[in-house]
Amino acid sequence: MSTLNLTLKIWRQRSAKEKGSLETHKMDNVSTDMSFLEMLDILNDKLEREGKEPVIFDHDCREGICGMCSLFINGKPHGPERATTTCQLHMRSFKDGETITIEPWRSSAFPVVRDLMVDRSAFDRIIQAGGYTSAKTGSAPEANIIPVPKENADLAMDAATCIGCGACVASCKNASASLFTSAKVSHLALLPQGQVERTERAINMVNQMDEEGFGHCTNEGECEAACPKEITVENIARMNREFIKASAVSRG
Amino acid sequence: MALKSNAPDGDIQTAWTRHKFHNLKLVNPANRRKFKIIIVGSGLAGSSAAASLGEMGYNVDCFCVQDSPRRAHSIAAQGGINSSKNYPNDGDSVYRLFYDTVKGGDYRSRERNVYRLAEVSANIIDQCVAQGVPFAREYSGYLANRSFGGAQVSRTFYAKGQTGQQLLLGAYSALSRQIKAGTVTMHTRSEMLDLVKVDGTARGIITRDLKTGKVSRHAGDAVLLCTGGYGNVFYLSTNAMNSNATAAWRCHKKGAFFANPCYTQIHPTCIPVSGDHQSKLTLMSESLRNDGRVWVPKKKGDNRKAREIPENERFYYLEEKYPAFGNLVPRDVASRNAKNAYDDGLGVNGKEQVYLDFADAIKREGEDAIRAKYGNLFDMYQRITGESPYEMPMRIYPAVHYTMGGLWVDYNLQSTIPGLFVLGEANFSDHGANRLGASALMQGLADGYFVAPYTVSGYLGSTTLDKVTTDHPAFQEAEKDVDDKNTKLLSVNGKKSVDDFHRKLGKLMWNHCGMARNEEGLKKLITELAALREDFWKNVAVVGAKEDLNVTLEKAGRVADFIELGELMARDALNRKESCGGHFREESVDTGEFAGEAMRNDEDFAYVSAWEFQGVGNDQTLHKEELEFEHCKPTKRSYK
């Protein structure tokens, strides 16, 4: 284990309506075994002891699965490591003497709540628009009655791995939510259980995404590079196909 | 007060069916919308209950502390979910799952609840598949299974190492459908801070909006608590940072009995602590013990690298001591043996850690096959430790993971407060003194999808409830209590941070009420916790304002409750002078055939301890629910 001396530039903002700015903090003797959020815990502990308000950021499981943590670190969602959420990022990924800039996700569809915490409820509304099968509790048939080709099940699983963190939106110059939305559209389109509502789902979820104020996809692929769960842009292509097919056959 | 389980008598195999027909009244579809049901928590139990009750036509209000219901900590469960489907044709049945679960729980659970759990386990898999949960499949297209601890059959369904995530997203999708349909109103970033009782019955809750600090009142006809366990009493655990016991603890203070608080599960395979900065511990799924071999060096102080230690100088202690189950012994047994190895000075590099080695499995099946099974877990391990499990064994050590204790409930999942139901990890009912792997997901979903919809309807259909609004004095009083408590926390103006207290609490609990407990340590713990509580209220520093976003205030309220709960855990552990499951009393050890193994005392302790609150710092009143074992006769729980 070794230690680092760092300079942090952290975005502070009281609310979506007020202006924010970067605040500088020096951090000495940061252990390289520490996680990025543990480093912020130590900063907050210090601030609280000084009677100051801690830096607000979302976090929960700290195992890279709940999707609650975010942070735009040195211009990259979830920081420099590939396929790694901020909570799983460790300080050994940084160099002694480095300045680290920490900002919230920036998108008009994700308004800042405070400091580094943003409102991602737009994602919930996209799922509510059709990210489900309408299988009522109790109405399900025997699980093995419909075999699913392993390849499709595996592809569905890859798409369903999305943790809904919003890194795709944060990385995109258009703040598009296409990767997030397409992951759910793909997951259900690939399974027999998702077929009945396939048409409506594609149309309703894409429409909701537009309504929330997310931008359009222009095939930059930044989202795939930023995704901590390695969801691929193949899903966006699949969503576009689903949407076009659905638009042609929809009775709505 | 005599505790009545309200479980139906007679044949166990038809008990649930008979109970539903004879004992549980129905509410007709047109009347359901007249009832408001409050659900606290959106994990597997909360989401599945909210979705199911919403679909039935009830008016549901669901609350969670996270920014979305999809983030509840059920999402972090890795390994799988048990079900008695018997797809592998290896001898499983409802009865065997029932038997394994009662035995796994060291004969400290209620047989009839467990039987029902095993019975509905098959429906859960059907339901999840219909929702589009992408379980692992064979090349045939049919569902795949793997093995978990405490079972000799393969009954665990899984989705890579992310089974909890996929099941929760399934329940969340069903919940989302109901939110869209308007049957469920979702309240995110909302924390329940008190229960409101009117005429002895649960009629509402007080919540705090975590974005604005605004405290508000919510009235309803029933309250379902689905708020998870209390593992964070130990500060370091595999629970999420926001997992807390406040909702359950405040219900306890309002009269709900707390059952078996000392039953905590220490999971054998977690990534060891790396330093004082550590904020939480990360689990490595039990499924890894299908292929990983646990060992330590035979020689004390052997600091050679793992690969340099020859086979005959390694102590594969689980395989040697428990040949029938080997590395797949239940969690309590595996954890205790890791502790024994460390206590004997055999910990890897002299630290609290042992090896979990995949070299043989990689040699046997190839790296690709192992990557396909555990790739995401290996990656996670490498991200945290900087070491590759493909090249060297994992270093693991036990950590607090799950709490079997919880609010006492009857067969209907109703607490001692009428109208307050408790589901999932928050209740005590199904796992006895030790939970088997892949059974938590099963219980959360069983309670939410298939039990509560019937029992809550039964309650509403057979109870006359007066109309209550939030103007009722009981709401005013509860809101005032919440406000007073927050004012008090903010006015202490001490010098120690909330985390200082939480860390200290965790250390005390881990040292005296962790993997091994004894009378002297527990007595000392009770004294020290009382002192810690007093120190907290004199010296804690809580910055910020009451009516504002304030994470310090949130934490402070939770830690204050954890300290009180810790005291109860210690008292319960002191009372239970036997070793069972996760509760190991050093005074109660076998000296005969199973020398050194935990020794249960069925004569004196075959009961559920249900504690009634009597004021902070006071002894609580113990009520006993005697346990009867008609089908699973308590025997020495041997995995040899």
User: For residue B574, what is the domain's CATH number?
Assistant: 1.20.58.100
Examine residue B621 and state whether it is found in any structural domain, yes or no: yes
Q: Which residues of A touch B165 (CB under 8 A)?
A: 65, 161, 163
Tokens describing residue B64: 């969670």
Residue A85 CB-density burial (10 A; 0-12 exposed, 13-18 middle, 19+ buried): buried
**Interchain contact, B132 vs A35, CB within 8 Å:** no
Fold of the A3-114 domain = Ubiquitin-like (UB roll) (3.10.20)
Torsion angle, CA of B185/B121/B409/B285, rounded to 10 degrees? -90
> Are B558 and B542 contacting, i.e. CB atoms less than 8 angstroms apart?
no
Nearest to B130 by CA among A187, A1, A59, A136: A136
pLDDT at residue A251 is higher than 80: no
Low-confidence ranges of chain B (pLDDT < 70): none
Q: Is A48 helix (H, G, I), strand (E, B) or coil?
A: helix
Q: Look up tokens 């071999």; give the residue.
A: B293
Examine residue B230 and state whether it is found in any structural domain, yes or no: no
Nearest to B224 by CA among B4, B462, B415: B415
pTM of the model: 0.97
**Interchain contact, A38 vs B278, CB within 8 Å:** yes
Interchain CB contact of B343 with A (< 8 Å): no
Q: Look up tokens 């995995």; give the residue.
A: B639
Residue B477: CB atoms within 10 A of its CB come to 14
Q: Which residues of B touch A12 (CB under 8 A)?
A: none
Chain centroid offset of residue B41 CA? 13
Chain centroid offset of residue B524 CA? 27
**Interchain contact, B283 vs A45, CB within 8 Å:** no
pLDDT at B601: 97
Q: Which residues contact A37 (CB under 8 A, 6 or more apart)?
A: A57, A59, A62, A69, A86, A87, B279
**Interchain contact, B188 vs A161, CB within 8 Å:** no
**Interchain contact, B497 vs A48, CB within 8 Å:** yes
Examine residue B603 and state whether it is found in any structural domain, yes or no: yes
Q: Which residues of A touch B188 (CB under 8 A)?
A: 121, 124
> Are B241 and B72 contacting, i.e. CB atoms less than 8 angstroms apart?
no
What is the rounded CA–CA span in Å between residue B448 and residue B69? 15
Q: How many CA atoms lie within 13 A of B417 on its CB side?
A: 32
What is the rounded CA–CA span in Å between residue B609 and residue B49? 27
Taking the CA atoms of chain B, what radius of gyration do you get in angstroms?
24
Q: Is B212 helix (H, G, I), strand (E, B) or coil?
A: coil
Q: Which of A49, A60, A188 sits opposite B132 (nearest CB)?
A: A188
**Interchain contact, B55 vs A137, CB within 8 Å:** yes
Residue B285 DSSP label: -
Q: Is B383 helix (H, G, I), strand (E, B) or coil?
A: helix
> Are A121 and A58 contacting, i.e. CB atoms less than 8 angstroms apart?
no
Q: Which residues contact B273 (CB under 8 A, 6 or more apart)?
A: B236, B281, B352, B397
Residue B525 DSSP label: H
Give whole-number Cα distances, B547 to B190, B212, B487, in Å: 13, 6, 10
pLDDT at B583: 97
**Interchain contact, A137 vs B543, CB within 8 Å:** no
Residue of chain B nearest A129, judged by CA positions: B180
Q: Which residues of B touch A53 (CB under 8 A)?
A: 543-544
Q: Which of A51, A123, A144 sits opposite B142 (nearest CB)?
A: A144
Bridge partners of residue B39, in order along the sequence: B62, B224
DSSP string, B122-147: HHHHHHHHHHT----B-TTSSBP-B-
Q: Is B4 helix (H, G, I), strand (E, B) or coil?
A: coil
Q: Which residues contact B90 (CB under 8 A, 6 or more apart)?
A: B153, B154
Domain check: are B387 and B519 in the same one?
no
**Which CATH code is given to the segment(s) A120-249?**
1.10.1060.10
**Interchain contact, A45 vs B499, CB within 8 Å:** yes
What is the rounded CA–CA span in Å between residue A243 and residue B570? 59
Domain check: are B489 and B608 in the same one?
yes
Q: Which of B81, B167, B184, B241 to mutate to test the interface with A (most CBs of A within 10 A)?
A: B241
pLDDT band for position A1 (50/70/90)? Answer: low
pLDDT at residue A252 is higher than 90: no
What is the rounded CA–CA span in Å between residue A187 and residue A201? 12
pLDDT per residue as tens digits for the range B226-272: 999 999 999 999 999 999 999 999 999 999 999 999 999 999 999 99
Give the end of a domain, one of B401, B419, B443. Answer: B401
The shortest C-alpha distance from B613 to chain A (Å) reads: 30
Examine residue B529 and state whether it is found in any structural domain, yes or no: yes
pLDDT per residue as tens digits for the range A186-233: 999 999 999 999 999 999 999 999 999 999 999 999 999 999 999 999
Q: Which of B44, B71, B276, B493 to mutate to test the interface with A (most CBs of A within 10 A)?
A: B71
Q: Look up residue A71 and give its amino acid.
A: L
Determine how β-strand B420-422 pairs with β-strand B222-225: parallel
Examine residue B614 and state whether it is found in any structural domain, yes or no: yes
Q: What is the 3-state secondary structure (H, E, C) of A195-242?
A: CCCHHHHHHHHHHHHHHCCCECCCCCCHHHHHCCCCCCCHHHHHHHHH
Nearest to B240 by CA among B280, B271, B190, B268: B280
pLDDT at B196: 98
Examine residue B428 and state whether it is found in any structural domain, yes or no: no
What is the rounded CA–CA span in Å between residue B134 and residue A155? 9
Tokens describing residue B162: 């992310």
Q: Is A120 helix (H, G, I), strand (E, B) or coil?
A: coil
> Are B441 and B40 contacting, i.e. CB atoms less than 8 angstroms apart?
no
pLDDT at B376: 83
Q: Which of B85, B134, B498 sits opposite A160 (nearest CB)?
A: B134
**Interchain contact, B551 vs A138, CB within 8 Å:** no
Find the farthest-apart pair of alpha carbons in chain A and give their distance in angstroms, rounded.
64
Taking the CA atoms of chain A, what radius of gyration do you get in angstroms?
20
At CA B46, angle to CA B44 and CA B49, rounded to 5?
100
Q: Which of B76, B135, B277 sits opposite A65 (nearest CB)?
A: B76
> Are B579 and B542 contacting, i.e. CB atoms less than 8 angstroms apart?
no
At CA B564, angle to CA B562 and CA B566, rounded to 5?
65
What is the rounded CA–CA span in Å between residue B516 and residue B398? 12
If one counts the domains in chain B, the total is 2
The shortest C-alpha distance from A38 to chain B (Å) reads: 6
The ipTM, to two decimals, is 0.98
pLDDT at A172: 98
Show which of residues 386-425 on chain B sit within 8 Å of chain A, judged by CB atoms. Answer: 386
Q: Which of A135, A147, A156 sits opposite B130 (nearest CB)?
A: A135
What is the rounded CA–CA span in Å between residue B84 and residue B95? 8
Give the end of a domain, one of B401, B435, B452. Answer: B401
Structural domain boundaries, residue B347: 267-401
What is the rounded CA–CA span in Å between residue B314 and residue A134? 54
> Are A112 and A55 contacting, i.e. CB atoms less than 8 angstroms apart?
no
Comparing A3-114 with A120-249, is the CATH topology the same?
no
Q: How many CB pairs under 8 A join A and B?
A: 219
Q: Which of A38, A53, A150 sits opposite B544 (nearest CB)?
A: A53
Q: Which residues contact A46 (CB under 8 A, 6 or more apart)?
A: none
Residue B403: left (phi > 0), alpha (psi -120 to 50), or beta?
A: beta
pLDDT at residue A81 is higher than 80: yes
**Interchain contact, A66 vs B278, CB within 8 Å:** no
Q: Look up tokens 């209907």; give the residue.
A: B412
Examine residue B5 and state whether it is found in any structural domain, yes or no: no
Angle between helices A121-128 and A178-189 in degrees, nearest 10: 30
The shortest C-alpha distance from A246 to chain B (Å) reads: 20
Q: Look up tokens 């989705």; give the residue.
A: B159
Determine how β-strand B201-209 pairs with β-strand B190-198: antiparallel
**Phi, psi dihedral angles at B61 (to 5 degrees):** -115, 120
Residue B592 CB-density burial (10 A; 0-12 exposed, 13-18 middle, 19+ buried): exposed
Nearest to B257 by CA among B408, B361, B112, B139: B408
Domain ranges (residues) in chain A: 3-114, 120-249
pLDDT at residue A153 is higher than 80: yes
Interchain CB contact of B171 with A (< 8 Å): no
Give the end of a domain, one of B381, B401, B421. Answer: B401
Residue B530 DSSP label: H
Structural element, H or E, at residue B264: strand B264-270
Residue of chain A nearest B238, judged by CA positions: A61
Show which of residues 20-59 on chain B sit within 8 Å of chain A, judged by CB atoms. Answer: 48, 51-52, 55
> Are B406 and B426 contacting, i.e. CB atoms less than 8 angstroms apart?
yes
Structural element, H or E, at residue B623: strand B621-626
Q: What is the CATH number of the domain that holds B327?
A: 3.90.700.10
Dump strand ranges (E) for A98-225: 99-103, 112-114, 117-118
- Helices (H) and strands (E) in chain B — how many of each? 18, 19
Examine residue B180 and state whether it is found in any structural domain, yes or no: no
**Interchain contact, A133 vs B173, CB within 8 Å:** yes
